[in-house]
Amino acid sequence: MATQQTRSLARFMMAPSVVLLFVWMIVPLLFTLWFSFQQYNPLNPIRDGFVGFSNYALFYSNPAFLQSILNTLAIVVSVLVITVVGGILLALLIDQPMWGQGIVRILVISPFFVMPPVAALVWKNMIMHPQYGVFADIARFFGAEPIDWFGQHPLTAIIIIVAWQWLPFATLILLTSLQSLDGEQKEAAEMDGAGFLSRFIYLTLPHMSRAITVVILIQTIFLLSVYAEILVTTNGGPGYASTNLPFLVYQKALLEFKIGQASAGGVIAVILANIVAFFAMRAVGKNLDK
């Protein structure tokens, strides 16, 4: 009897979260799905209604579409490689005995707390500006021609900014994992004459594998939807050179008011995210059982 009561109480306590999240997820998504099969432009009184898959066809035939998908993947993969490799190296470095370790940690983690628009604008103006930026000063110091980052290499510039924001996250998590490695095991390996490299490959790396997986999965979720960094630096340009899928959908929806096409793009973004989510959930779920 008591358990019955507890159980219904538990359901009652859980209901608000579950209902809110369910409504928040399902209702807008159904709208998007509905719009993706409609011809709808708020600025245009003509509404043709149901148009089948033509929005998808239009979105697909738009040359920007393929480029935006490639850009999205380029951002995700490049930033992942930079942050995971850089994060492992940094974590190994910071884990060494040293003076002022606490302050080093604080300095390294800081970029993660900088809001995206600030990070992007600071890099755009103060660091990468072709005339007044620090990079330009350095280039001139060595007698080289300063690089016009956002004109010539817009996607690379955005990748650098985003990697700067996420490197601290990877480092912090990998460092936390590294520090939970059993000291005795390390000592035993050292006693047995294992060099730094073999200790790293056979002891450290396997120990960190779970943390590395988590870093990759969580970053992928956020990196798939990079937005503010593009908005305040290149605005997707020149042309579509730095437009990713979220940015293209935003442009279609709120600038061109091509709601049908934007919704089709949104549905594609959901599918892309779901493929990633599938693997993410499995990995996180496995960790739950331990």
Partner 1 sequence: MARAVTTQHKTIATAAAWIVALLIFFPILYTIITSFKSEQEAIQGFNLIPSGTFESYTEVQARSGYFKFFFNSVLLSVGSTILALLVAIPAAWSMAFSPTKRTKDILMWMLSTKMMPAVAVLFPIYLIFRDSGLLDSRIGLMIMLMLINLPIVVWMLYTYFREIPGEILEAARMDGASLWNEIIYVLTPMAVPGIASTMLLNIILAWNEAFWTIRLTTTNAAPLTAFISSFSSPQGLFWAKLSAASTLAIAPILIMGWFSQKQLVRGLTFGAVK
When asked if residue 167 is in the footprint of partner 1 (CB under 8 A), the reply is yes
Q: How far is the CB of 289 from partner 1 (least distance, A)?
A: 9
CA distance 68 to 252: 13
What residues from 9 to 38 belong to the interface with partner 1 (CB under 8 A)? 9-11, 13-14, 16-18, 20-21, 24-25, 27-29, 31-32, 35
- Does 144 help bind partner 1 (rule: CB under 8 A)? no
The rounded distance, in Å, linking the Cα atoms of 55 and 57 is: 5
Q: What distance in Å separates the CA atoms of residue 33 and residue 260, rounded to the nearest whole number? A: 9
Residue ranges in 216-235 that form contacts with partner 1 under rule CB under 8 A: 218, 221, 224-225, 227-228, 231-233, 235
**Dist. CA 30–CA 22, nearest whole Å:** 12
Taking the C-alpha atoms of residue 252 and residue 265, their distance in angstroms, rounded to an integer, is: 9
Phi and psi at 33, nearest 5°, equal -60, -45
Please compute Rg for the chain using Cα positions: 24
- Applying CB under 8 A, among 38, 74, 111, 241 the residue interacting with partner 1 is 111
Interface residue with partner 1 among 64, 84, 94, 216 (CB under 8 A) is 94
- Give least dist CB 70 to partner 1, A: 17
Please provide residue 212's backbone torsions phi and psi, each rounded to the nearest 5 degrees. Answer: -65, -45
Query: What are the C-alpha distances in Å from 278 to residues 21, 75, 282?
Result: 19, 20, 6
Q: How far is CA 73 from the centre of its chain?
A: 11
Which H or E run contains 56?
helix 54-61
Burial label, 146 (beta-carbon count in 10 A; 0-12, 13-18, 19+): middle
Q: Does 64 bind partner 1 (CB under 8 A)?
A: no
User: Looking at the DSSP assignment, which residues form a beta bridge with residue 38?
Assistant: 50
What are 138's two structure tokens? 């350095």
Residues 259-288 that bind partner 1 (CB under 8 A): 259, 262-263, 265-267, 269-270, 272-274, 276-277, 280-281, 284-285, 287-288
Residue 133 or 155 having the CB closest to partner 1: 133
Query: Which residue in the set 75, 119, 155, 170 belongs to the binding site for partner 1 (CB under 8 A)?
Result: 119
The reply to whether 139 sits near partner 1 by the rule CB under 8 A is no
The span of 74-82, 119-127, 144-152, 193-201 binding partner 1 (CB under 8 A) equals: 119-127
Shortest CB 170 distance to partner 1, Å: 11
Number of residues that bind partner 1 (CB under 8 A): 104
- Rounded to the nearest whole angstrom, what is the least distance from the CB of residue 252 to partner 1 in the complex? 9
